[in-house]
Amino acid sequence: MPRYATIDVGTNAVLLLVADRQPDGRFQAVRERAEITRLGRGVDKRRRLSPEGMEDTLHVLSDFVSEARSLGAEALAVSATSAARDAENGAEFLSAAKQRAGVTVDIISGELEAQARVHGGTLLLVQLEALADKLCGLPLAERQKLPGLQPKREDVIPAGALILLEGLRALGLDRCLVSDRGLCWGLLAHRFGATHS
């Protein structure tokens, strides 16, 4: 079976997906990993990627590329999203990724990023309100223990919930689609031409 890999270099995390394409064209995950690197720390204020964010991200990117290759991925697609897209020194990051990890990182448009996300279910406004209240009310130490919450996201998750909540309210929406698989799965289908399972 052909094996492919995608790496999503996001604003806060780097995600790896290695998957086999089954005879029916669907993908079966072999390995999925995520590491919080915060490439975009401070980019909204300074319009630049910080040296620390770039270094942390390049380290993880190099490790993920090596891991994908060691698992036998015959092709690898690497994308970066808003932090690298919006930063004045995004080209510096892309050059360093090529030099250190040996890959070309494609900066994808916000439109393609939205299209490539794989949607999993519906979140109602009332559910989001309750979740945001819970997250904002929990001390950091308790948020760290929440099942399913990636390590190092506990400090930013309340703000993310509030941003989504206010966005829904501003648009007059009572629900939204949420992604359960994310950009790596969408890029896998977009780049290597099949569906996921």
63 and 155: one domain? Answer: no
Domain-embedded: residue 103: yes
CA distance 186 to 5: 12
Domain-embedded: residue 23: yes
107 and 145: one domain? Answer: no
173 and 94: one domain? Answer: no
Least confident range from 4-8, 59-63, 68-72, 111-115: namely: 111-115
Q: What is residue 135's predicted lDDT score, i.e. its pLDDT?
A: 94
Determine the average pLDDT of the residues in 52-57: 96
CA distance 119 to 182: 8
Domain-embedded: residue 31: yes
Q: What is residue 153's predicted lDDT score, i.e. its pLDDT?
A: 82
Looking up residue 83, the CATH number of its domain turns out to be 3.30.420.40
Domain-embedded: residue 63: yes
Question: 10 Å Cβ neighbour count for 94?
Answer: 18
Q: Which secondary structure element, helix H or strand E, spans residue 161, and what is its range?
A: helix 157-171
Contacts of 178 (CB under 8 A, 6+ apart): 119, 120, 121, 122, 123
What DSSP string runs through 74-116?
Answer: SEEEEEE-HHHHH-TTHHHHHHHHHHHH--PEEEPPHHHHHHH
12 and 52: one domain? Answer: yes
Domain-embedded: residue 197: no
Q: Please choose, from the candidates 88, 38, 73, the residue with its C-alpha nearest in 3D space to the C-alpha of residue 59.
A: 38
Six token digits for residue 177: 């689609």
Q: What is residue 185's predicted lDDT score, i.e. its pLDDT?
A: 87
Q: Name the 3-class secondary structure at 5.
A: strand
Of 148 and 73, the structure prediction assigns the larger pLDDT to 73
Least confident range from 14-28, 142-156, 177-191: namely: 177-191
102 and 60: one domain? Answer: yes
| C-alpha dihedral (23, 80, 93, 4), degrees to nearest 10 | 0
Question: 10 Å Cβ neighbour count for 64?
Answer: 28
pTM of the model: 0.76
- Domain encompassing residue 76: 3-115+181-192
Domain-embedded: residue 58: yes
185 and 148: one domain? Answer: no
* Residue that the structure tokens 């099949």 belong to: 194
Q: What is residue 190's predicted lDDT score, i.e. its pLDDT?
A: 82
132 and 166: one domain? Answer: yes
CA distance 84 to 78: 13
135 and 159: one domain? Answer: yes
Question: Would the pLDDT of 173 be above 70?
Answer: yes
109 and 37: one domain? Answer: yes
pLDDT over 90, % of the chain: 61
Q: Exposed, middle or buried, 69 (CB in 10 Å: 0-12/13-18/19+)?
A: middle
Q: pLDDT tens digit string along 84-102?
A: 888 999 999 999 999 999 9
Number of domains in the chain: 2
111 and 130: one domain? Answer: no
63 and 146: one domain? Answer: no
Q: Identify whether the C-beta of residue 77 lies closer than 8 Å to the C-beta of residue 191.
A: yes
14 and 110: one domain? Answer: yes
Q: What is residue 120's predicted lDDT score, i.e. its pLDDT?
A: 67
